[in-house]
Amino acid sequence: MLKNFLIKIWESWGIERDDKILLHSSFKRTFKNIKDDGYNFMPKDILDSLIDYILPKGTLVIPTFNFSFNNGVKYDYYKTPSEMGILTELARQHPEATRTLNPVYSFAVFGNDASKFKNINNESWYSKKSPFNIIHNDNYKICILDLNERNSQTFAHYCEEYFQVPWRYYKSFSGEYTDHNKETKTRIYKGYVRDLEKGVDTTLNPAGDLLWKKRKFIGNKPFIKNGFRYVRSKDYFDLFESLYLINKCDPYFYTIKL
């Protein structure tokens, strides 16, 4: 039975029923593995199973990021799709989802603490008023499936803004925004972006290697076995802070390419 098979997957990954998780994912290989095991399914079945497994006591946070607003494209809360993969777009459309309001870094949230995320409309992408702050303070499992750090660990940018690192700066973006009340107006948001003129390049993969070395990651590296791993948000934050305070974030989180 598909339901029981999927529950065994979530259990084998180390997800617990009352967990609070942020999930960055590439499900392509997992979908293939489930089909190879003889199960017919739709991607929605996978999402619904995960929601049912974690709820009602747990909380599931799924990125529904879209970067078009930064290029002057109108943002519509109800229509602008997620660019993070098919499962994230299904999460955005899900009737039980609570979607945060930032036009670039939004999240679909399910479960016990969804109310904490409701109506969050952080002006700055990664600020202390953003969903990342809840993820930090409540010590979420940052879960990653078949993605490297560079393509998943957005929480690192929250850490960078938290400490106001010198290799990034605030940049404003404005555009038409249709909100959850279906009202349209021009709005301004800002990102704490890397300083390209100084040759700043985001790395993050070396930070991931360090987390493995320190045994803060639990699970498997991308495309190894199930390809699923997680780190506690406070462990990630503490690693960043420890390196930042001794001026050692280069090369773990960024480097300078001249």
**pLDDT for 100-127, tens place per residue?**
999 999 999 999 999 999 999 999 999 9
Query: What's the rounded mean pLDDT across residues 175-204?
Result: 97
As given in the structure block, the two tokens for residue 216 are: 């803060």
Q: What is the mean pLDDT of residues 36-63?
A: 97
With 80 as the cut, is the pLDDT of residue 10 above it?
yes
Residues 125 and 104: beta-carbon distance below 8 Å: yes
Distance CA 230, CA 110 (A): 19
The tokens 């002006």 sit on which residue?
Answer: 123
Eight-class DSSP state of 79: T
Provide the CA 124 distance to its chain's centre, in angstroms.
16
Contacts of 11 (CB under 8 A, 6+ apart): none
- Which residues contact residue 151 at a Cβ distance below 8 angstroms, ignoring those fewer than 6 apart? none
Question: What is the residue-averaged pLDDT of the chain?
Answer: 97
The yes-or-no verdict on residue 233 having pLDDT over 90 is yes
This prediction's pTM: 0.97
The helices-and-strands tally (H runs, E runs) of the chain is: 10, 12
Pairing of strands 75-76, 168-178: parallel
The whole-number average pLDDT for the span 200-204 is 98
Residue with tokens 């002057």: 72
**Domain locations along the chain:** 2-256
Question: What's residue 150's pLDDT?
Answer: 98
Residue 230 token pair: 């997680």
Q: Which pairing describes strands 107-111 and 98-99: parallel, antiparallel, or unpaired? A: antiparallel
Closest Cα partner for 159 from 233, 67, 70, 59? 233
pLDDT over threshold 80, residue 249: yes
Q: What is the pLDDT of residue 258?
A: 75
Report the C-alpha gap between 56 and 50 in whole angstroms. Answer: 11
Identity of the residue numbered 130: S
Percent of the chain residues topping a pLDDT of 90? 99
Task: Provide mean pLDDT across the span 225-237.
Answer: 98
Mean pLDDT of 207-225: 98
Cβ atoms within 10 Å of 2's Cβ, excluding its own: 15
- 8 Å CB contact between 107 and 63: yes
